[in-house]
Every structure is written in structure tokens, then in C-alpha cells.
Structure 1
Amino acid sequence: MHICFICDEYPPAPHGGSGSSYRDLSEGLVAQGHQVTVVGVYKNPQWHGGKGVDETINGVRVVRLPSSPSWLRYKLQTLSDRLKISRWLKCEHQKNPFDIIEASDYGGWLRFGGPAGVPTIVRIRGSNYFFDVELKRNGDPFEHKIEEAALARADFIGSVSRYASERTLDICKLSHRSCTVIHNAVDMDLFSPSPGVSRERGLIVFVNSINPKKGIEQLIDAMNVVCAKFPEAKLAVIGQDTQKPVDGITYVEKLKQRMKPEFLDRVIFTGRMDRYKGVLDYLRRAHICCYPSHMETFGIAAIEAMSIGKPTIFSETGPGPEVIEHGVSGLLCNPHDALDLADKIVAILSSDELAERLGTNARCRVETLFNKKHWVQRNVEFYERCISSNSHENGRCGCK
């Protein structure tokens, strides 16, 4: 098959979980002998070089197109970029036909569809519309309409969790549409325990972008409680500060101000780190990995920690129960309640038996449900079903 992914955060460009997932899937598909093209629109000239970049990374063709001119107003630029993707898809399809095209629901990149006869998939990974509703934020109605229209136009819909699927389809008034859920996965050979790395007692590790919705404020507040009870407790916060400074004060500085002065030296902010070196080392040394996000569509950071065999605390909201069986393969917390989070951390720090049991069960759960080796094949089978169905039904009338 020739699969095309639309992704505007493909590594090594700045990326989140979606970019990492598309890279892992792309490289896994190439390893099975499939052809993969990834195309995206980028605003930063560093990544598109002014006229666009067409390169091959680990067997994956990666095309980075420049965004439409900045002098266009926001709405026109947004529509123009999506039209650019649609036109590029149709042009490239004439040269090297695609068998299937997929994009995330975030940003509504398939708003104008693709080449006639080629099935399109929108995979629910976490749209602005979804998070605005779930987090009760004032969103951009224009942005919501684009994401909703792209989802409605797709021939097929996928999702990284049942929760994200049900809520997104309900929000977009598409509950009548079917959706295939394929959870994200992790490379268990890479994210594995290392006999040469010892656990650092009391080390709590958080790996995520640093912003309020990731629950970092509640985690900092919880650390004031934990540090008072455990002299060895310390927190490593790994990730990029994504918030704009307010009155010249960065968000990280504000987080430091939440710590009691006597505990300030027990929290370190490392900044963004390489996934395969710095992050992996911290995860292997961690006593506990903690991800009290207010809302996720899945939460790949949690399963990376679980794969290494670490006792992991995740949020009870959203897809949390799909990832962790509370009390069996990890602990689920109320991400809005710092004291509840502190209680969960204290419980693990107080019992080596509990920590060992949760960590062992966590890796077993990843092996069963979130192993990359099985994940790639599940996606291949999903694509084959979509192609077969599209061929038999000749597509959904009017979708292209």
C-alpha cells in the first residue's frame, strides 16, 4: 500500500504526541514493506526552507510545504493552507497514486478532501473543538467548524481511544458514524527496563509539555505535601514551557513560586529532552511516573512509563480507565485535586511491594494492549478494510 499521512509536526520538527505517533506508525509501516508519504504545512522557514522541503527520513518520504503568506488574514490563511494540502494531494496522486490518506482531526486538514476515489480517514487524536468543550474553554467557532467539517467529510473515522471517539462524535453531531478505535502503542524494546540503571528512591518524573491542562500546577502543589513526608522525594519536570510570559514572568517561574521555599531545590525543570536519551534515562531511574493531565485523548507518555515497568499515576478523567486499571496496573487520580494526587504518590512511596506490583502489572498491560509490534498490523488491517469497503461501495457519494 501507499499510505499518505497529513501531519504538520513530523519529527524532528517541534512535535507532540501526534507527531511522535505518526513517526512510529510511518516507520513501522515502511518496515513491513509499505510506502509512506507524510505531508504537512509549516509556518517556520527552518522546516520548509522557503520553497518547501522533500526528504526521506528512515525510509519515509516527508514533504514540508510553506504556509500561505502571513499577510493573509487568519481565516483566509487557514483555508488557503488546507486548500494547498488538497491540491498537493491531487497533484501527487497523478504521479504516484495513494491507496489511502489519513489526517488527524486536529486542525481539520482534510477540510477540502483529497483525490477522487481515494478513501480518506480522519483519526481522532484531540481536536481544538474536543479540548475546548472538555476543558470548558472559550474556543474559536471558525476553528471548530473546520475541524467538524473535515471529520464529517471523511470516508472513515478512527480514534486513539473510546472516550475520545464517543465525545468527539457527540460534540460534532456525528454519533451516527461508526469509528474504529486503535489505541496508541509503544516500542517495548526501546521503552524497557535496563539492568544497568538503578531506581532512584523518591524520584518522581513528569514528561509532557508544561501548561496548565497537563496538571502540572496540581503536581507542584502535591509535591509540597509529599516533600514534607519524604526527605528523599524530588520531582523532575521534563518538557517545554509552552505558555507565553506574563508581565515578564515565565510560566516555569510561576510554578517555582508555588513551591514552599524549603522544598524549592527538590524540583528541577530540565526543559525539552531527547526522547531516546535524556527522557529514557529519567524514566528508567524514576521511582514513580506521574501524569495528572486534566484531559487527554489517550496519553502516550503514560504507556511509555508503564512499558519500562514503572508505577504510573494517570488521570481518572477521559481515557484514563482505558489505559490503567486502577490499583492493578497503576493508580488513577483526580487531576484537579492536589491532595488526592499527593495521597497516590505517598501510597507508592510508602510501599515497595505496591510499587513493584504496579510496575510489573503495568508492563504486562502494555504487552497485551499497547505493544507497537501488534499496533502496526492492526493499522494495516484497518487500512485494508477501508480500501476494500471503499472499492465495493465506490466511496461515499459527494465526499470528495
Structure 2
Amino acid sequence: MMIWMDNWQRPLSGTVLFCNRLMKRARPINCSSMHICFVGEIATPTFKTGGIGTFVANLSAELVKQGHEVSIVSFRKQQAALEHETLDGFSIYWVNTNQWGKLRLIKVKLDTNKVLRQIHARSPLHIVEAPEYGLFALQKIPGVQYVVRLNGGHVFFAKSTTDTPPRRRKAFVEKRSLKNADAIIGVSKYVLTQTQSYYPFIQALPSAIIPNPILVNRFDPSKFEGEQQDGFILFFGSLTEKKGVRQLIEAMPLVNEHVKNAALHIYGRDIPMRPSSDSYKALLEALLAKLQLQNVYIHEALPNNEMPALLAKASVIVLPSHMEAMPLAWLEALAMQRPFIGSQLGPGPEVITPHQNGLLCDPHQPADIAEKITYMLLHPQEAASMASAGRTMVVNEYNAATLVQKNVLFYQSLIGR
């Protein structure tokens, strides 16, 4: 397969498909309807997940609109085995993960493969896609192409954010899953190149860099005019060390030396620490007490459909992650046309050009985080200009219609290989 060059010049080892150029120069592709199955998380109105589940829901709905059939195999506790429901035109098959006690993983493997065979018998599958670990237990169906989408797996984050070696079992599962893959999609250049360095055998697979799309019409600032609140600093995301929320809290005393009315609002789901299983939220609350901070508030996570109204309140949104693959949260914040500060590590420079569409900080340094927040709050006109440019970039480059088409083109390039 040809390597198409697009935003950067040095070719990756292996086969990398750059979809912007492909859309302009590739030979015509059969655009008949495909049947695509996602295995993994899915966000529904009654079931909250992280960014990957939201992405799968968004992509599935857009694929259905383009005439493709979409099935999703996902997992829940305390559900009847093989339960089925329909949402936004695609089918969800729930596999019960609360059976057989210590042998539950065997049961989940059996049920997952049973569901996939049933789906394929009813309507032949063309593509099965999963995250880094998702193909580990799957028995491949002849003629179906299996794709892994790299949103940042265990080994990626373990090697990027800590000095602790990856956990053997998780690394084994991830490696076996990637060995089952026929093709790879990376949501950023950074996550693709890093994962290829950890698993050199995937360099020979067809691969593409396709960021996760967002629904720009949902994150539309014109629907929330006048909602922005002075001094409202917003963090949203999982409450865990790698998200940089502890350093953000430690930055607040420095921010308040210059902006007295600045207040930090943290919205997120508590993630137990490993290996102790202690609450990370409790650790943050203890830090607030130690620093005697009265202007930092920790709230429960909100469902995705309530996020636009929350983002609209922000004077500045700060997401100083120690590492990301390509966070959907960043794109949602930028789409809402609010001043944004992200991390300079990982794929941050792929999204943010400092002083053009946002700022980047050193997520390990509270002083640097505080400096960037203070700059945004004390330079509102420049901050507004950066926010406007951020919105324009997301609408042009990360909208669902454009990126869904890139996914379709990549899927179609695999069929019949």
C-alpha cells in the first residue's frame, strides 16, 4: 500500500495511511454498505463510561447515518447474558461480566465469541474493531478484518507516565491482542509511533492516523452565550494521578496571588489508586485541607450531554495530563470556544500551537501551570482570540463528518485484502 504524506514529512516504518491525501488522490473505492462491529466500551444514556465509550457511540451513530450497519459488543455486570438493545440505529449486545466467579473471564470469552458468531450469521461482518486489549480472547472469523484503535494502552501509559514496569498480565494480554490485529488506527501520531516502538511487529500492518471525532453541533458556544463566569477555572476528567489534577490544585495558591476571585471547579469520577485501592478523591480532599484552600470544589462527574453547559461557564479550561493519546476532552473544550490549557507532553503539540489556539504547560510543575492560568485570566482579549482559533480548528479538522469518512475509507481499503 502506498504511504501518503500529509502534515509531516518523515515516513513511519510500516504502512501508514494518511487519509486526507488518500481522499484526494486514491483510486475510487467501492462505497457499498459495510457491517462494522465494535468490541469494548459504549456510552449510553443509562451507562456512563470514559472518552472511548463516548467516541464509539458518536462514531457508530455517524456510520449508521452514512448507510452502514453497526453492532457493538459491550460488557456490564448484573445483566442477563447476551441482552440486546438498539440505540441511534445501531445494535448493542451486552455480555454479562458477573458470572462464574473466579472463572468469569472464561465465561466472558465464550459469550463474546458466541455473540460475534451470531451477529455474523445474521448479517456478515466486514470489520471488527477493538481497543488495545480487545482482540485478546477473540476467535477470528475468516474474511473479517480485525482492527485495533490505539487510544493509549496499558504499556503506553505505564512507560510514558511512571517508572514502574508494565504489569505482566496486562502487557501479555495487550501483546496477544495486537498479534490478532490485521490493521491499526492511531488517534494521534504520538500514540502510533510510541506503540510501534513498544511492539515492533505491528509496524508491518496497514495503519492510519485518525483522531477521534466530536459532535461539534452539540458543543456549540452560540447556544450558551452569556454563560461564561469570571474566574471560573474548570478541570474535568477521571480523578487519577496521570490527569495532573493534584498539581493543578497545588497551582491554585499561586494563581490567587494574582487573581483573587479565581476558583477551581473539578468534575470527575473517582479512580481507586493501585495497588492500595484507596480513593484518589480522598487524597485530593486531604490536600485541600492541608493547603487550606477555600476556592477549590470537587464535584461528581456529569454525563456527556450535560458537558456543553458546564464548559460554557469556564473562563479557562485546564487539563494538565501527564500523558494522553488524543483526549476527546481537549477537543470538546476547544469546540466550546473557551480558553484552553493542555499538557506539553505526548500529543499536546499536535493539537495546540501556543498563543495561537491555546497554551501548553508542564504538567509536573504547579508553578508553570499557575503561570499559564494567570496569563489567560489577565489577558482576556488574547485568551478570547485563542479560544476562537481553537473552535475554528476543531470545526475544520475534528468534526464527525470529515473523520467518519476517513474511517470509512480506511475500513474499505482493508476489505478483500
Identical-pair percentage? 29
Instruction: Say if 1:367 and 1:263 are closer, same or farther in 2 by CA, change over 3 A.
Output: farther
Please give the alpha-carbon distance, in whole angstroms, between the structure 1 residues aligned to 2:172 and 2:52. 21
Match of 1:234 among 224, 238, 263: 263
Q: CA deviation at 1:331?
A: 0.6
Cα deviation, residue 333, structure 1: 0.8
Partner residue in 2 for 1:51: 81
Alignment length, in residue pairs? Answer: 380
2:149–2:184 contact (8 Å) kept in structure 1? yes
Q: Which residue of 2 aligns with 1:133?
A: 159
Q: 1:17 aligns with which of 44, 51, 54?
A: 51
Q: Please report how far the alpha carbon of residue 156 of structure 1 lies from its aligned counterpart in structure 2 after TM superposition.
A: 1.0
- The one-letter amino acid paired with 2:196 is L
TM superposition score normalised by structure 2: 0.85
Partner residue of 2:295?
A: 266
Moved more, 226-235 or 63-72: 63-72
Give the whole-Å Cα distance in 1 for the aligned partners of 2:200 and 2:278. 41
What SS does the aligned partner of 1:115 have? coil
Q: Quick one: which amino acid aligns to residue 265 of structure 1? A: Q
Assess if the C-alpha contact under 8 Å between 1:224 and 1:260 holds in 2: no
- 2:294 counterpart SS class: helix
Tell me, what secondary structure is at the counterpart of 2:242? helix
1:5 aligns with 2:38: yes
SS in 2 for 1:54: strand
- Taking the aligned partners of 1:82 and 1:235, their CA distance within structure 2 comes to 43
In structure 2, the CA distance between the partners of 1:248 and 1:154, relative to structure 1 (3 Å rule), is closer
Instruction: Indicate the RMSD between aligned Cα atoms, in angstroms.
Output: 2.2
Is 1:198 paired with 2:232?
no
**Equivalences for residues 282-293 of structure 1 within 5 A:** 282-293=310-321
Could you tell me how far 1:196 is from its partner in structure 2?
Answer: 3.4
* Alpha-carbon distance between aligned partners in 2 of 1:38 and 1:125, rounded to the nearest angstrom: 18
Residue pairs, 1:133-212, within 5 angstroms: 133-136=159-162, 137-174=164-201, 175-193=203-221, 194-212=223-241
Task: Return 5+ residue gaps in structure 1 as ranges.
Answer: 394-400
Distance (Å, rounded) in 2 between the aligned partners of 1:356 and 1:151 = 43
Paired letter, 1:173: P
Which deviates further from its counterpart, 188-197 or 200-209?
188-197
1:348 aligned to 373, 376, 387, which one?
A: 376
Q: Deviations over 1:295-337 (max 9, x none)?
A: 1110111110100111111111111111111221111111111
CA distance in 1, matches of 2:209, 2:414: 14
1:216-249 CA deviation, whole Å, 9 max, x = no partner? 0010001121123211100110111112599997
SS of the aligned residue for 2:293 comes to helix
Query: Residue 266 of structure 1: CA displacement?
Result: 1.1
Q: Which residue number corresponds to residue 301 of structure 1?
A: 329
Deviation sequence 1:181-238 (CA, Å, 0-9, x none) = 1011211111011353332111111110111110000100011211232111001101
Residue in 2 aligned with 1:221? 250
Distance 2:113 2:81 in 1: 18
Unaligned residue ranges in structure 2 (runs of 5+)? 1-33
User: Structure 1 residues 176 and 116 mapped into 2: Cα distance closer, same or farther (>3 Å)?
Assistant: closer
Deviation at 1:83, TM superposition (A): 4.7
Q: Distance in 2 between matches of 1:132 and 1:262?
A: 30
Structure 2 partner of 1:397: none
TM-score by length of 1: 0.89
Q: Which residue is equivalent to 1:60?
A: 90
Q: Which residue of 2 aligns with 1:374?
A: 402
Amino acid at match of 1:51: A
1:197–1:79 distance in 2 versus 1, CA, 3 Å: farther
Please say if 1:251 is aligned against 2:280. yes
